[in-house]
Structure 1
Amino acid sequence: MSVSKVFVARLANCGVFDPDGLRIGKVRDVIVVFRAAHAPRVNGLAVEVPGKRQIFIPIKQITSIGSAQIIADGVVDLRRFEQRGEEVRLIGEIIGRRVTFADGSGAGTIDDVSIEQDDADDWNVGQLFLRLPRKGASFFGKAPSRYATWDELEIDLSVEGDHSATAFLTAHSEMRPSDLATTLLELPRDRMYEVAAELPDERLADVLEEMYEEDQVAIIEHLDDQHAADVLDRMQPDDAADLVARLDAERTEQLLELMEPEEAEDVRMLLEFAPNTAGGLMTTDPVIVSQDTTIAEVLAIIREKELPAALATTVFVTMSPYEPPTGRFLGIVHFQRLLRHPPHETIGTILDRSSEPVRTETPDAEVSRVLASYDLMALAVVDEEHRLVGAITVDDVLDHILPADWRSPNRQQKNPAQAPRLIGRAPRGGSHAAGGPHQREGGAHGGH
């Protein structure tokens, strides 16, 4: 059932469909344009489509807004959404912002914003739901709240304005790291830095690992040294090494000094290897056990949710010690083989000794050839004394051989196979509703 009023937090991740029921994507934000002496007018929706990019659908093309889905009619322009200067995102830039009441009666934080359809079928910002500061005896209870209209408030949209990212992060809390990385990169640059700074260290580490290196560096450079070091501690050592290698030498040394000693030691070791060698591609955190470890114990280790899936596929067996560089490398055991033997059996009895490791200086082309030739998910890397110093996984190699800008939304839009089926591409100048204050110069909303 279509509604004429809806709070935008409920629209986050809501599915968008064409009239035939074909899914176009999901809502990531509501785009509005400010007007003098009036509440902002809704311009359209930022919708994520296959390929992890956002497109723009004008509000005039939205024929129905229901509790679980949105219907869009007409030809959808599949070019990547480029936010323009006069536009503001309600979820990304308004929700979570601290405001004051125009009559001087106090302040509050915007928790949600409603959009309402008027008699002319235009959508405008309606009521805003505000959380008010706790006072006195109510400090430990539920925070007071109230509704307000746009003209009752004074809102500072400058970068320096007080703007919490909590509401934005809550709305996107269920996103996978790769999706959240894409969403962050779609935000205005200053807003992206604000939100990234409020992400928990573990979450930000996961998100950074899904970004292009230039974006990783930009975010790290906007964090204070201790915060940046804490995030690097939680990244995979090879990803952390790739990131700090792009910083200037002074900042790199500062961050390494602030990192946990063991994590910093791994990163320092990886920085010694050329990026196009096995040593430069490897991670120093594979699953390493002794040959006396039981299969039950190994299964318990790889069941840990913190362990990346690629590393959980292969167990590396060595002599003592069991931290890289280990004792002599003995062999590997694939996850599938573990499931075919009794839990009490020791891993040394099912060891695959035929899988030859590569040396730290092995060229990347040879590493790729070995992985492909023997259908391996992970490959052992040893030093000249045959000690295990790390492992290379398939995703490490893919990250290395793909074009440097493969994560970029601009690159993704060039692949027509990622477009939703049966959804056409509007001609330039054809996707926006004609006339009215929200018509754009040049017509279609998309890449320039």
Structure 2
Amino acid sequence: MSTTRVFVARLAGCTVFDPAGDRVGKVRDVLVVNRTNDPPRVVGLIVEIPGKRRVFVPIGRVTSIGPGQVITTGLINLRRFEQRGGEVRVIAEILGRKVDFTDGSGEATIEDVAIDEKRQGAWSVSQYFVRRPKTSGSLFAKGPTAFATWREVREKISTEAQSAEHLVASLSDLKPADLANTILELPPERILEVASELPDGRLADALEEMPVDDQVSLLAQIDDERAASVLDQMQPDDAADLVAQLPDDRQEQLLGLMEPEEAEDVRMLLEYEPDTAGGLMTTEPVILSADSTVAEGLALIRKADLPPALGAAVCITLPPYEPPTGKLLGMVHYQRMLRHPPHERLGAILDQSLEPLSAQASAAEVTRILASYDLVSVPVVDDADRLVGVVTVDDILDYLLPDDWRSQDEDEPVRPESVRRSSNG
């Protein structure tokens, strides 16, 4: 092994490779079993492979664990992982648990778990990274931390579940799609607890990556004020798609609680049929005047929180500059901006060859335009040629793919040359 001690929270999201260097999947958790007189034994990793399927990889088939990566023998059982009696998931079930120090010095909360390799292929829990409660007058903002061995702590005798706060902290670095998948893998009673601890923006990101049924189910368990705040943080088209699935009375309740500008965008999108350009578009493109410069355009599309598809081009309109805008004059793609000096007026370098789509255009027409002209986005106008939004390639992909594409199983092997179906164990 390339290392003998690993902290489990740092393993979350690490890429798993086979011996040839081909990507197998990502680590989602570590599975352990408790023992009476010895520290918990690591039995394997829970790995997400293509198709969003989670499989079990026995620890004996892990040949190397290094910074940001795990190397396996390449022999992966493609059967979906099912947790057995006595097995415990470290990230989902141990992080955040309360423990007492056996010397009577008080309690603490587990924030990470270290696993050690004692011999080739034999790993066990060696230490807990714990945080004690903050004491009055303490200089520590969250209370002091410490390392404790398995024998130095014991789990508190309590029916209290793992702290959702600590579980959320362990998931803080996951990408939205990975966060959504991790949340949905939790036991049903834990999903709401974790959702309650997530910041509004983070929960909004996760919701956007969930299947519609799971979105509706989760939102149904959240109070109206929180739900409205989360919808405010979502992309307007995603928020509109979700709101459209709710009962009419809750639709109005949530729209009334949302920020007026965000609610207005969602209401506008709800007026269009879902299989039209208006129903597929987002209402937050980058919009500038013809007198704006290349430098101003590049500054706007450089923003870190701007989705890449929206940053591919700038829409140039007459005032006002919020949808529905004044008349659409054209678009300027970022590559064209890169070929002109910073002081150049955007109005002088418009791409006027592309005709905008009517908001009533069919999804098939949108698809044809994007594919025929190799576009990332296409503007959408109303009957008065006012810009109302843009349809991006990811919008049309979401429409074309099956509703359950995020949770579909794939029969495609992870790596045909090296992956065989083998017994789980």
Provide the TM-score with structure 1 as the length reference.
0.84
Contact 1:128/1:148 (<8 A) preserved: yes
User: Partners of 2:268 and 2:157 in 1: how far apart?
Assistant: 47
Query: Percent same amino acid at aligned positions?
Result: 56
> How many positions carry a matched residue from both structures?
424
Listed as ranges, the matches of 1:91-130 within 5 Å are 91-100=91-100, 106-116=106-116, 123-130=123-130
The 3-state SS of whatever aligns with 1:191 is helix
The aligned residue for residue 149 of structure 1 is 150
Assess, with a 3 A threshold, how the Cα gap between structure 1 residues 384 and 172 changes in structure 2: closer, same or farther: same
Shifted more, 131-140 versus 317-326: the winner is 131-140
- Corresponding residue to 2:417 among 415, 422, 435: 422
User: Partners of 2:241 and 2:85 in 1: how far apart?
Assistant: 34
The aligned residue for residue 235 of structure 2 is 236
* Equivalent position amino acid for 1:425 in 2: R
- Tell me the alpha carbon deviations over residues 359-381 of structure 1, each in whole angstroms, 9 at most, x when there is no partner: 22221111211222222221121
Shifted more, 237-246 versus 71-80: the winner is 71-80
Matched, 1:413 2:402: no
The aligned residue for residue 90 of structure 1 is 90
Contact 2:107/2:132 (<8 A) preserved: yes
Assess, with a 3 A threshold, how the Cα gap between structure 1 residues 330 and 2 changes in structure 2: closer, same or farther: closer
Shifted more, 394-403 versus 200-209: the winner is 200-209
User: Partners of 2:321 and 2:279 in 1: how far apart?
Assistant: 21
Listed as ranges, the matches of 1:361-440 within 5 Å are 361-408=360-407, 411-416=408-413, 419-427=414-422, 430-432=423-425
* Equivalent position amino acid for 2:87 in 1: E
The aligned residue for residue 28 of structure 1 is 28
Listed as ranges, the matches of 1:203-222 within 5 Å are 203-222=202-221
Assess, with a 3 A threshold, how the Cα gap between structure 1 residues 423 and 82 changes in structure 2: closer, same or farther: farther
The aligned residue for residue 176 of structure 2 is 177
* Equivalent position amino acid for 1:43 in 2: V
Assess, with a 3 A threshold, how the Cα gap between structure 1 residues 319 and 111 changes in structure 2: closer, same or farther: same
Contact 2:331/2:350 (<8 A) preserved: yes
How far 1:106 sits from its partner (Å)? 3.4
- Tell me the alpha carbon deviations over residues 10-60 of structure 1, each in whole angstroms, 9 at most, x when there is no partner: 433445444566554443211123466775443311123345543211234
The aligned residue for residue 438 of structure 1 is none
- Tell me the alpha carbon deviations over residues 340-369 of structure 1, each in whole angstroms, 9 at most, x when there is no partner: 222222111122223212222221111211
- Tell me the alpha carbon deviations over residues 377-428 of structure 1, each in whole angstroms, 9 at most, x when there is no partner: 21121112221111111111111011111111xx242233xx135332324x
- Tell me the alpha carbon deviations over residues 211-270 of structure 1, each in whole angstroms, 9 at most, x when there is no partner: 221222223233332222222111110000001111222222222122111001110111
Greater relative contact order structure (CA < 8 Å, 6+ sep):
1
Listed as ranges, the matches of 1:175-324 within 5 Å are 175-324=174-323
Listed as ranges, the matches of 1:6-25 within 5 Å are 6-18=6-18, 23-25=23-25
Contact 2:50/2:410 (<8 A) preserved: no
The aligned residue for residue 42 of structure 1 is 42
How far 1:277 sits from its partner (Å)? 1.1
User: Partners of 1:58 and 1:220 in 2: how far apart?
Assistant: 36
The 3-state SS of whatever aligns with 1:136 is coil
Shifted more, 96-105 versus 211-220: the winner is 96-105
Contact 2:56/2:81 (<8 A) preserved: yes
Assess, with a 3 A threshold, how the Cα gap between structure 1 residues 390 and 84 changes in structure 2: closer, same or farther: farther
Assess, with a 3 A threshold, how the Cα gap between structure 1 residues 88 and 336 changes in structure 2: closer, same or farther: same
* Equivalent position amino acid for 1:81 in 2: F
* Equivalent position amino acid for 1:97 in 2: R
How far 1:285 sits from its partner (Å)? 0.6
How far 1:283 sits from its partner (Å)? 0.8
The aligned residue for residue 80 of structure 2 is 80
* Equivalent position amino acid for 2:106 in 1: G
Shifted more, 318-327 versus 14-23: the winner is 14-23
The aligned residue for residue 439 of structure 1 is none
* Equivalent position amino acid for 1:95 in 2: L
- Tell me the alpha carbon deviations over residues 137-176 of structure 1, each in whole angstroms, 9 at most, x when there is no partner: 3254672344153684234685x5351333x444443332
The aligned residue for residue 339 of structure 1 is 338
* Equivalent position amino acid for 1:329 in 2: L
Unaligned runs of 5+ in 2: none
Contact 1:42/1:123 (<8 A) preserved: yes
Contact 1:98/1:164 (<8 A) preserved: no
* Equivalent position amino acid for 2:150 in 1: T
How far 1:7 sits from its partner (Å)? 3.7
User: Partners of 2:377 and 2:15 in 1: how far apart?
Assistant: 37
Assess, with a 3 A threshold, how the Cα gap between structure 1 residues 325 and 157 changes in structure 2: closer, same or farther: farther
Assess, with a 3 A threshold, how the Cα gap between structure 1 residues 289 and 33 changes in structure 2: closer, same or farther: same
The 3-state SS of whatever aligns with 1:309 is coil
- Tell me the alpha carbon deviations over residues 102-147 of structure 1, each in whole angstroms, 9 at most, x when there is no partner: 7876322112223456689754444433211121232546723441
The 3-state SS of whatever aligns with 1:348 is helix
Assess, with a 3 A threshold, how the Cα gap between structure 1 residues 156 and 201 changes in structure 2: closer, same or farther: farther
